[in-house]
Amino acid sequence: MTDRTGPLRVAITGATGMVGTALTRHFREGGSTVIPISRQAIPDGIRWDPARGVLDAAGLETLDAVFNLAGENLTARRWSTATRQRLRDSRIRSTMLLATTLARIGFRGVLVSVSAVGIYGNAGDRELDETSPLGGDFLATLCRDWEAAADPARAAGIRVVHPRLGVVLSSAGGLLGRVLPIFRTGLGGRLGSGQQWLSWIAMEDLLAAMDLVVRTESASGAINFTAPTPVTNAEFTATLAQVLKRPAILPAPATALRLVFGEMADAALLASQRVLPRRLKALGFNFGAPTAEVAIRQVLDLRRET
């Protein structure tokens, strides 16, 4: 049951990314006003420059919600020392700037600052929820510090929500968008052993969950944004191949992935996270795509043949 209905005034950092673009469309189609927070001069936008500590606070005062999606792509390249620093700076500096500014102006809305299920580290077959121990590798530490960067807003009494995102399934990008062309040619396959757990969420469910937590006053803190049925990488691979009616017989060996991607292979491609959305379900959320097959068919706009 939501506490607030009707149009909202929201701002989004990272509005041009895969999730940001979809979130912008979702709220605008519902009649809400969406204001991008951008380094570029955009009509009716809010200017910021996290590297210089600059944010136009005046544009934030009348908002109901701020979505913080800013952050450099985690899987775009090998994690060199310089890359690791950019990954941290692009998330932690920007979140700290946003949180301190909102605290200073007495913001009365909600800050939704995303995180990721990578915060749990490589947990094998163990089921994970929001109370589970956090990991200790680079990605887990990054996510932990990313969430902590919002502490100034929390300390000022601002409601803060951290959606811990699983792999977002969308044809526009992310894991599914990248592998679709490969699988459509019949050249797809599992990653490594394929036994690592993959926690995912369909884009449409992610958007609905974002809408829910913004409008529900009792929603705060870390909330896993994952479907209720995580699958192994091998199961996901088989399901995608079945939906596309293509073979999936060319696995990518772990040694080859490590050779190409280095540390990122173990932390982002081969790590196992079996994450359950217990807090999201407790808020009454109903998944439109509860299984990987339904989600893939939904993303590809395919109906099950009878």
Rounded to whole angstroms, the Cα distance separating 69 from 66 reads 10
Determine the Cα angle at 263 with ends 169 and 234, to 5°: 40
Report the relative pairing of strands 65-68 and 33-38 from DSSP bridges. Answer: unpaired
This prediction's pTM: 0.94
The pLDDT profile of the chain, 306 residues, written as one tens digit per residue, is 468 889 999 999 999 999 999 999 999 999 999 999 998 888 889 999 999 999 999 889 899 999 999 998 887 678 889 999 999 999 999 999 999 999 999 999 999 999 999 999 999 999 999 999 999 999 999 999 999 999 999 999 999 999 999 999 998 888 888 889 999 999 899 999 999 999 999 999 999 999 999 999 999 999 999 999 999 999 999 999 999 999 988 888 888 778 777 877 777 788 999 999 999 999 999 999 999 999 999 999 875 543
Phi-psi category of 103—alpha, beta or left, where left has phi over 0 and alpha has psi -120 to 50?
A: alpha
Residue 275 phi, psi dihedral angles, 5° rounding: -100, 135
The pLDDT assigned to 76 comes to 66
The pLDDT assigned to 305 comes to 43
Three-state DSSP string of the chain: CCCCCCCCEEEEECCCCHHHHHHHHHHHHCCCEEEEEECCCCCCCEEEEHHHCEECHHHHCCCCEEEECCCCCCCCCCCCHHHHHHHHHHHHHHHHHHHHHHHHCCCCCEEEECEEHHHHCCCCCCEECCCCCCCCCHHHHHHHHHHHCCHHHHHCCCEEEEEEECEEEECCEHHHHHHHHHHHCCCCCCECCCCCEECEEEHHHHHHHHHHHHHCCCCCEEEEECCCCCEEHHHHHHHHHHHHCCCCCCCECHHHHHHHHCHHHHHHHCCCCEECCHHHHHCCCCCCCCCHHHHHHHHCCCCCCC
Rounded to whole angstroms, the Cα distance separating 254 from 256 reads 5
Q: What residues are paired with 223 via a beta bridge?
A: 163
